[in-house]
Chain A
Amino acid sequence: MISQFFVLSQRGDNIVFRDYRSDVPKGSAEIFFRKVKFWKEDEEEEAPPVFNLDGVNYFHVKVAGLLFVATTRVNMSPSLVLELLHRIARVIKDYLGVLNEDSFRKNFVLVYELLDEVIDFGYAQTTSTELLKSYVFNEPIVVDAARLPPLGPAAMFMQGTKRMPGTAVTKSVVANEPGGRKREEIFVDIIEKISVTFSSSGYILTSEIDGTIQMKSYLTGNPEIRLALNEDLNIGRGGRSVYDYGSSAGAGSVILDDCNFHESVHLDSFDVDRTLSLVPPDGEFPVMNYRMTQEFKPPFRINALIEEAGAFKAEVILKVRAEFPSTITANTIVVQMPLPKHTTRVSFELESGAVGHTTDFKEANKKLEWGLKKIVGGSEHTLRAKLTFSQESHGNIMKEAGPVSMTFTIPMYNASKLQVRYLQIAKKSKTYNPYRWVRYVTQANSYVARL
């Protein structure tokens, strides 16, 4: 069982602190913070999420710049505690709308109230926002969401897509709209994180998609929902059905390696017609997580070249080509490349007519950084950089630079082709027609090209 739970700001201040068992010294928050901050100063290593110090086990997760910490003296399941910490963060976010230090400080009494019900004497009770609603009475003090960095994968919808109401994902589950009436709406987000490693010759070494179907419901009365996925969806590689489909439906079928589901999901008809039925609880939760290693077309091709140009000079050429339809636009793209450690100066040369590009040489860690506001499908962009070294490089310059890594967000695009065919809400009356948002987004997890 958990002895203490506390939340620390980035500076190490206690924002909330709850002691359940009083068998861990009171100064644990400070001890913890010092340990995490100076884990291994020389090697720049991060503290692992679990460690033991003088017989006390410290668990922590980082959410929205805050440290959620639990301590215990007993040999608990690390998975349980870390899941619980994340779940607490999510419940709090459901209530506050926005999770950050400011909203936390303004609402700490509410947070205490939540904590009282979530953990009793160190034992987890419930983390269901739905159930907690009946025990929690403080009203959240809503903070201005616009200028604050939001939490969670759904946050990426904040930018760009204009059709979405701005406050959608930062709305508290309990706070009422200014008009007094709650807006009936439900969000289903298909969020995919892709990892691709290209070899130096552009061949795909590894690729994986980690996806989540995330749901956030603001529907009153918790109606039942049916969510239909691709009919030709297959789960598990090498199963018989995979080959059946492979021969009849061709390459069109989606084959997931594996997936798991939220508790509330009923899979009764999943095997028949690939529909999930559920009564969505309040708050944000993942309906389904899935993993896919089936081959897919990577959205970007990266071409990187580094060449010596004299004793103290070298030239880098970076090319990025968007291999998705021109109706789709990727945004917030950053391309990074570590340069040889003797690099002292870099001069950049962008293609003519480049708009919204930024280039930077991070002297401290010898990294080249190329930012692009957006890339339209089908286009190609090139960056040339001239490097100057402080000393002559001997040996292979290719071995001292790279690999090139890339981060991006592509709204309304998913590499796996997994789709929500329809989202059906059990109707209460004829006039009942809540807003339904089904959104797709793809993000880079580890997108790397080797030199």
Chain B
Amino acid sequence: MAPPAQTQRSASPSQPSGKGEVSDLKLQLRQLAGSRAPGTDDSKRDLFKKVISYMTIGIDVSSLFSEMVMCSATSDIVLKKMCYLYVGNYAKGNPDLALLTINFLQRDCRDEDPMIRGLALRSLCSLRVANLVEYLVGPLGLGLKDKNSYVRTVAAIGVLKLYCISASTCIDADFTSMLKTLMLNDPDAQVVANCLSSLQEIWSLEASTSEEASREREALLSKPVIYYFLNRIKEFSEWAQCLVLDLVSKYVPADSNEIFDIMNLLEDRLQHANGAVVLATIKVFLHMTLSMTDVHQQVYERIKAPLLTLVSSGSPEQSYAVLSHLHLLVMRAPILFSSDYKHFYCQYNEPSYVKKLKLDMLTAVANESNTYEIVTELCEYVANVDVPIARESVRAVGKIALQQYDVNAIVDRLLQFLEMEKDYVTAETLVLVKDLLRKYPQWSHDCIAVVGNISSKNVQEPKAKAALIWMLGEYSQDMLDAPYVLESLIDNWDEEHSAEVRLHLLTAVLKCFLRRPPETQRALGAALAAGLSDSHQDVHDRALFYYRLLQYNVSVADRVVNPPKQAVSVFADTQGSEIKDRIFDEFNSLSVVYQKPSYMFTDKEHRGPFEFSEEIGNLSVGEEIADTVTPAQRVEASDNDLLLSTSEKEENRGPSNNGSAYSAPAYDTALQIQSELTVSSSSLPSYAPQPSLPIDDLLGLGLSAAPSPPPLKLNPKAVLDPGTFQRKWGQLTVSSSQDCSISPQGVAALSTPQVLQKHMQGHSIHCIASGGQAPNFKFFFFAQKAEEPTTFFLVQCLYNTSSAQAQIKIKADDPSTSDAFAILFQSALSKFGIS
């Protein structure tokens, strides 16, 4: 009850404000205290009720303490109970007055009526006043030996209460051994259960200082004790069963026979209507069979039906708790649930927290056999009026696309989302299409065609805008109006509030410029100028970096923003398997609902008596965090740990970067830049600037681009027959793959494939096959190293005159030299049409 905090709350008109009423009550109580007139008890009841109701709504009625105690001399049990409630609530704050109650409580502890004895003992233990513990020991000891089970039940918990007030008093009086005897012998199951609760809590707390306690705690998990509990399991109330089952789940059976015995004994618990009992049983089953793969799998099959029944029979809240556990199991073994996917379909009237779990599960169980149905169902949710769920559903479709082999149909669905013209659907879809393209670059053609039709004005959400801009930059050669769209976005630079979008804009416009220089030049200039005066530090830095890079060397800039990209095969998982295992260890606890292990949201002292495994592993925030740290901080600290461990895995690239606030593409390039720069420093001078363009005009920079010839020498008279070429092309892997832009002159000069063949021959690069017609040409070239007749370079070059782009794939007998050759090749290509 919350007396002081709520007194400040402005009392609503219906509630009494306090003062006057309380003193009024005081008077009335006094009058009744000594009265023996008939009907006194009824008047007292009314007054007591008033006092309790004030107490509940937060009015401080502690000033009535002595009057209440005076009135408590009664045989009316209802009155007594109200008085106990009052005393229990205020004793802690008024230790002196609490002393007044000791007398009548002690007397009641010896009452004839076991009910009164029990109630008095419970109240006595609930006073929570340290200097009164001496009065507690006697009644508690008697209570534990009381012939009535109700009193013993109360006393068993009373011992724990005493321990919490004064641990030493409790230990000195040797109550724990009394509890232990009771636990193993009492005929009443509730007494046994309460002894177990108390002992678990006391021994866990004692274990850190007392070896004996930790031994005792271990002994709870010994075979005789566990079997004793198991044999009595049906005597316990459903709540006590949960307690026992939790203990059993920590027990390690000696062999598989024992495991089967226990499981057979508990089998019928799976049919219990109480979800908590079922989950506790499942925990036992799962943990005992962990090392027996086949049986473990059978357990999954066995528990499916009961879990599904619990999900659909309870209230939304109960269903959520069970569903969270089902979610965990589905995530662990999606294959085992792949035929149950229909159970995870959302119902329109379910709360969103349930729907979200279900979407997750649908995503997880999707495989070749059911993807079509699942995606069809998800598409229905996308069209739904429930906006958050529509968003989640788009993401779910995207996730399925990213984890499937046959994404053909899914990509079509995603693209259809873009045609629905709902802002939020478009936004979510754009982000996904971007991720999809990073994994399946081969889809670029289809995607770009649709994405190109989206007006950037309809895209407002930063993430979506960033995705769109990334695609505009990355595929600027395929999207006709990319430079102009970017330009209009740059024109509105000042209205763009998201730094993330502005960062993307800078990168995209530079990419676009490198591929389609004449069209993008103005936009690049504007973007760099805006970026340099941007108030956001990162944006400013990136603009400055690009500016200097361009100033230094254009081809380096190209390598920095357009590095050869490998398709992303695995996106960084959000959770490490270690964390997932830990959550599984903590089955049937909050960890499952929060989807994080308990050390992330509880303080050490509250990990509870059930936490038998202390070591948290290398993920632990550990001991070094003192107990003064608030739980919130601790959660944060461990969150950071988690972030570190997972982000390190991210795509296995480079040093971990604190710029995780940016979404993936920008992040990539940022990392790439670092590595590129260190690598290129040695070979820099040899780079030829391929787009020989009027960059000088751009910002009035003087570009010192003096190419020195690369050290690689090629044999001008190399010969290779087409058969050998084909064989080699089949055997070797691509050692270098690059995109480069072609100068306008180059575009103009390429009337027929033969012209380029001739030009390249002049650079000792020979053509073996060519084909195509404007705007797409395809060439196969080869070259031979001058000194080593066995070392060939094979090149596939796709030349697109409309986008002024060439895509080069190089295979080499000696891959270590392929970079040098690539430079040579590009340099030769860039001179086409000029010389």
Contact = CB atoms under 8 A, between A and B. Distances in A.
Contacts of B278: 260
Interface in A172-204: 195, 197
B673 interface: no
B322 interface: yes
What is the interface of chain A mostly: helix, strand, loop, or mixed? mixed
A171 interface: no
B632 A76 contact: no
Interface in B143-180: 150, 153-154, 157, 160-161
Contacts of A259: 271, 309
B5 A30 contact: yes
Counting chain A CB atoms within 10 Å of each CB, the highest count among B52, B92, B270, B271 belongs to B271
A121 B247 CA distance: 20
Interface stretch (B290-298, B495-503, B542-550, B591-599): B591-599
Contact of A46 (B3, B161, B353, B608): B353
Interface stretch (A49-57, A157-165, A226-234, A243-251): A49-57
Nearest to B85: A112
A80 interface: yes
Counting chain A CB atoms within 10 Å of each CB, the highest count among B161, B276, B324, B420 belongs to B276
Contacts of A60: 317
Nearest to A105: B53
B421 interface: yes
Contacts of B81: 112-113, 116, 137
Interface stretch (B237-245, B364-372, B470-478, B789-797): B237-245
Nearest to A400: B383
A86 B313 contact: no
Contacts of B306: 258, 260
Nearest to B58: A14
Given A86-B315, A125-B190, A77 B122 contact: no
A260 B310 contact: yes
Interface in A56-100: 57, 60-62, 73-80, 82-86
A133 to B, nearest CB: 12
A400 B161 CA distance: 61
Contact of B349 (A84, A205, A445): A445
B388 A289 contact: no
B590 A57 contact: yes
A27 B320 contact: no
A137 B190 contact: no
Nearest to A134: B115
Nearest to A85: B317
Contacts of A291: 305, 308-309, 312-313
A281 to B, nearest CB: 12
B1 A55 contact: no
Nearest to B234: A263
B450 interface: no
A260 B56 contact: no
B349 A261 contact: no
A243 B94 CA distance: 72
B67 interface: no
A41 interface: no
Interface string A387-429: 0000000111001100101000000000000000000000000
Interface string B1-23: 11111100100000000000000
A128 B589 contact: no
A29 B592 CA distance: 25
Counting chain B CB atoms within 10 Å of each CB, the highest count among A50, A80, A127, A259 belongs to A80
A61 B317 contact: yes
B589 A405 contact: no
Chain A interface category by residue count: 35 or more
A43 interface: yes
Given A30-B5, A78-B590, A257 B305 contact: yes
B719 interface: no
A17 B1 contact: yes
Contacts of B586: 75
B77 interface: yes
Contact of B154 (A15, A120, A260, A286): A120
Interface in B258-281: 270-276, 278-280
Interface string A34-48: 000000000111101
A236 B342 contact: no
Contacts of B620: none
Given A19-B1, A208-B312, A52 B56 contact: no
B216 interface: no
Nearest to B307: A258
A197 B345 contact: yes
Contact of A75 (B321, B590, B632): B590
Given A45-B388, A52-B590, A22 B322 contact: no
Counting chain A CB atoms within 10 Å of each CB, the highest count among B1, B201, B310 belongs to B1
A362 B100 CA distance: 63
Nearest to B119: A116
B342 A206 contact: yes
Contacts of A23: 606
B348 A79 contact: no
Nearest to B115: A135
Counting chain B CB atoms within 10 Å of each CB, the highest count among A78, A135, A257 belongs to A78
A120 B122 contact: yes
A274 B591 CA distance: 40
B421 A394 contact: yes
B57 interface: yes
B82 interface: yes
A328 interface: no
A125 B198 CA distance: 13
Interface string B596-638: 0010011100111011000000000000000000111001000
The 8 A-B pairs at the shortest CB distance, nearest first, are namely: A55-B631, A446-B347, A124-B239, A258-B305, A80-B276, A49-B317, A289-B313, A74-B608
8 contacts: A27-B6, A54-B630, A77-B589, A79-B279, A125-B190, A260-B309, A289-B309, A405-B349
Given A27-B5, A446-B349, 5 more contacts: A46-B351, A46-B352, A52-B601, A123-B157, A290-B313
